[in-house]
Amino acid sequence: MLLSRDFINYSEILSQLVNEENELNQDILAFCFNLFDSETFIKALSILESRNLFLYLFTPVPLLETNANQQETLLSSFYKNQNDSQYLKRIIIKENNEKDIVFVDLDSWYCGCEEHNRKYRDSMDDLSSLVEKKQELNTSQNKTMYFSQPPQEPEDFFAKIPASKQYDSSCKIMCPHLLAAAILLQSSMAVFQHFLTKKETCYIIKVESMDEWLRLQCNIVV
Ligand SMILES: [Zn+2]
């Protein structure tokens, strides 16, 4: 179970996963091993290092002829403004046998894997049992069982749902795919660059055609 955000800033901790030498920080790795469910964290790290995570980015502006500096600028702009409507992203993770493909939607904290769906069903069962006990769901006490209000400063981006400006109860609904995607996109630019452009163990694929993008939404991998 994750600790309260009153005591810990997950984004801040995850942002230190990569040190100044662009290597994984072993002390932070050990800390995260205990901070998260250890098996989930190990699997998430494995996903990030196994060349099985693909970040599709819809960019209506042609980028084929852009140089490295412009590409870097684009990625930096995307990372900082990824919740803006101008940037559309879709995360696909291949399982080890490469036959199974999992789609991850960080903005709604959803993953298509069996583990996430099972945990989501379990959380709904918990909610149903609360209803059956006739507990008042609109009380602030019960709301915080599933969502928590963001802290004031500094801002924690981890597991944040942009539309609601709240955090998912990630202690209940967490899977390795969501954790891997969150480490990549909800920690720091340094971590993002480490896996995508420095180590290149994750891939970013730019989609410039709306037709291709729509096919991707129908689970047709381009
Ligand atoms: Zn998953």
Question: Does residue 138 form part of some domain?
Answer: no
Instruction: Give the number of other Cβ atoms within 10 Å of residue 71's Cβ.
Output: 14
Which residue in this structure is represented by tokens 């998430």? Answer: 44
Ligand 1 centroid – CA 63 distance (Å): 31
Question: Does residue 17 form part of some domain?
Answer: yes
Ligand 1 centroid – CA 113 distance (Å): 4
Question: For residue 9, which amino acid is it?
Answer: N
Question: Does residue 118 form part of some domain?
Answer: no
Ligand 1 centroid – CA 103 distance (Å): 8
| pLDDT value of residue 114 | 93
- pLDDT, tens digit (0-9, with 9 covering 90-100), for 84-98: 777 788 899 998 666
Contact partners, residue 15, CB within 8 Å, separation at least 6: 187, 188, 190, 191
Where does residue 110 rank: exposed (0-12), middle (13-18), buried (19+ CB within 10 A)? middle
- pLDDT, tens digit (0-9, with 9 covering 90-100), for 170-192: 556 889 999 999 999 999 999 99
CA dihedral 134, 136, 142, 147 (to 10 degrees): 110
Ligand 1 centroid – CA 187 distance (Å): 19
Ligand 1 centroid – CA 190 distance (Å): 24
Ligand 1 centroid – CA 160 distance (Å): 17
Ligand 1 centroid – CA 44 distance (Å): 10
Average pLDDT of 27-42? 94
Ligand 1 centroid – CA 92 distance (Å): 10
Ligand 1 centroid – CA 56 distance (Å): 17
| pLDDT value of residue 126 | 66
Q: First-to-last CA distance in the chain?
A: 37
Q: What is the 3-state secondary structure (H, E, C) of the chain?
A: CCCCCCCCCHHHHHCCCECCCCCECHHHHHHHHHHCCHHHHHHHHHHHHCCCEEEEEECCCCCCCCCHHHHHHHHHHHHHCCCCCCCEEEEEEECCCCCCEEEEEHHHCEECCHHHHHHHHHHHHHHHHHHHCCCCCCCHHHHHHHEECCCCCCCCCCCEECCCCEEECCCCCCCHHHHHHHHHHCCCHHHHHHHHHHCCCEEEEEECCHHHHHHHHCCCCC
- pLDDT, tens digit (0-9, with 9 covering 90-100), for 43-66: 999 999 999 999 998 876 655 556
Question: Does residue 131 form part of some domain?
Answer: no
pLDDT level of residue 104 (50, 70, 90 thresholds): very high
| pLDDT value of residue 205 | 86
Question: Does residue 222 form part of some domain?
Answer: no
Distance CA(14)–CA(18), nearest Å, equals 8
Question: Does residue 125 form part of some domain?
Answer: no
pLDDT at 111 over 90: yes
- pLDDT, tens digit (0-9, with 9 covering 90-100), for 160-169: 776 665 665 5
Ligand 1 centroid – CA 112 distance (Å): 6
Ligand 1 centroid – CA 192 distance (Å): 19
- pLDDT, tens digit (0-9, with 9 covering 90-100), for 8-25: 888 899 999 999 888 999
Question: Does residue 117 form part of some domain?
Answer: no
- pLDDT, tens digit (0-9, with 9 covering 90-100), for 137-164: 555 555 555 555 555 555 777 877 766 6
Q: Containing domain of residue 72, as a range?
A: 10-112+176-217
What's the structural domain count of the chain? 1
Which residue in this structure is represented by tokens 């894997």? Answer: 113
Question: Does residue 129 form part of some domain?
Answer: no
Complex ipTM: 0.99
Ligand 1 centroid – CA 67 distance (Å): 35
Q: Are 88 and 149 in contact (CB under 8 A)?
A: no
Ligand 1 centroid – CA 172 distance (Å): 13
pLDDT level of residue 132 (50, 70, 90 thresholds): low
Ligand 1 centroid – CA 73 distance (Å): 30
Contact partners, residue 129, CB within 8 Å, separation at least 6: none
